[in-house]
């Protein structure tokens, strides 16, 4: 069966006491091999076996993901408050749950308009990022097992929530709206063909123009859902504006760019630079910050960029 038929599930998310009764598979030499059927529960012995063999992920059929998403979202509060789980495992569980939501939202518009589901997920992210000093390190990337755009979106949420809280000290309601906008900031990419998104070399002018349309198209679609407020929609529409006025879609300049959009642009750029893409490898934390400093006064407001760099450096120590 083709790879798109399968979804990777972090071992950290498979709790022997709660995980639904569905088949689990392992990937061996490019093939998906049944590890356990629906009749047998995943056990503590299974977990220890996976740990001994350094197995990080198992696989399920994509048709079983709805049941898994329900399990994770229902159990998330309990798992994140558990003293039996360390910060790294909690981060991976939260990452997996967030990516499951995004895959649903990108594949089916009715899921994107489920504001309450999105709001609850962002609330968990807010609490985790706010309480755990190691949150950014603990939110481990699963980019090798999921499309880049989903991993990138979750990283942008975590960074943006932390940055808005630390630099702007925004109220919880506004912080949640920023988180919702961040989670869906690239939603307009559903209107871009996979051929363009997965192109391994330079885009033509026409292809780049189509990519640039994702901010406005994402904004228009989510605005038509009539459930997202202006703070969330501003992040979606304006996260590619530039301080010098050469961004898109509106070409806003300087402080005419809303505060949330300016900070979202910093988070978006940092995440994009430090993740592998189809056309280039990730750069290091320090190289990413060096490249961003070169855009001071051009893409980014100098003062805000300095504050952002200080914050991410502190969280990387």
Kindly report the length of the chain: 317
Cβ 311 vs Cβ 165: under 8 Å: no
Cβ 215 vs Cβ 236: under 8 Å: yes
pLDDT per position as a tens digit, 239-270: 999 999 999 999 999 999 999 999 999 999 99
Q: Is 64 exposed, middle or buried (0-12, 13-18, 19+ CB in 10 A)?
A: middle
pLDDT score of 4 = 60
Task: Give the position of tokens 């498979």.
Answer: 14
Cβ 207 vs Cβ 199: under 8 Å: yes
Give the single-character DSSP code of 19: S
Task: List, as one string, the DSSP characters of 102-169.
Answer: HHHHHH-HHHHT-HHHHHHHHHHHHHHHHH-TTHHHHS---TTTS-HHHHHHHHHHHHHHHHIIIII-
Give the single-character DSSP code of 300: B
Cβ 241 vs Cβ 252: under 8 Å: yes
pLDDT score of 149 = 82
List the domains of the chain with CATH numbers: 1-63 (no CATH), 147-316 (1.10.3210.10)
pLDDT score of 144 = 42
Q: Nearest 5°: CA angle at 22, between 124 and 105? A: 45
Alpha-carbon distance 147 to 198, whole Å? 10
Would you write out the chain's pLDDT as a tens digit for each of its 317 residues? Answer: 555 688 888 888 898 888 899 999 999 888 999 999 999 999 999 989 998 999 988 999 989 988 998 999 998 989 888 888 888 888 888 888 988 888 888 887 777 778 888 999 999 998 888 777 666 665 544 444 446 788 889 899 999 999 999 999 899 999 999 999 999 999 999 999 988 988 888 899 999 999 999 999 999 999 999 999 999 999 999 999 999 999 999 999 999 999 999 999 999 999 999 988 877 889 999 999 999 999 999 999 999 999 999 999 987 76
């Amino acid at each position: 069966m083709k790879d798109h038929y399968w979804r990777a599930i972090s071992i950290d998310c498979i709790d022997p006491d709660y995980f639904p009764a569905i088949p689990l598979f392992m990937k061996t030499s490019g093939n998906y091999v049944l590890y356990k059927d629906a009749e047998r529960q995943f056990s503590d012995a299974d977990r220890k076996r996976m740990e001994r063999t350094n197995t990080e992920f198992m696989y399920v059929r994509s048709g079983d993901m709805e049941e898994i998403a329900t399990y994770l979202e229902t159990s998330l509060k309990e798992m994140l408050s558990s003293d039996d789980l360390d910060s790294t495992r909690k981060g991976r569980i939260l990452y997996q749950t967030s990516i499951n939501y995004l895959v649903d939202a990108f594949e089916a518009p009715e899921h994107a308009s489920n504001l309450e589901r999105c709001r609850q997920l962002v609330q968990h992210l807010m609490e985790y990022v706010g309480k755990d000093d190691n949150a950014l390190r603990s939110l481990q990337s699963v980019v090798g097992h999921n499309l880049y755009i989903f991993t990138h979106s979750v990283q942008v949420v975590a960074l943006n929530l932390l940055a808005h809280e630390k630099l702007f000290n925004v109220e919880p309601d506004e912080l949640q709206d920023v988180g919702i906008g961040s989670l869906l900031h690239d939603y307009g990419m559903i209107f871009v063909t996979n051929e363009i998104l997965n192109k391994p070399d330079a885009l033509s002018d026409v292809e780049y123009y189509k990519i640039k349309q994702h901010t406005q198209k994402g904004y228009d679609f989510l605005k038509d859902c009539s459930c997202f407020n202006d703070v969330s929609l501003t992040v979606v529409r304006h996260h590619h504006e530039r301080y010098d006025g050469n961004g898109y879609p509106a070409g806003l300049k300087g402080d005419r760019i809303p505060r949330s959009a300016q900070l979202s642009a910093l988070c978006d750029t940092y995440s994009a630079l430090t993740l592998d893409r189809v056309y280039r490898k990730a750069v290091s934390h320090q190289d990413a910050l060096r490249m961003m400093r070169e855009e001071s006064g051009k893409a980014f407001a100098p003062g805000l960029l300095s504050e952002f760099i200080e914050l991410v450096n502190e969280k990387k120590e």
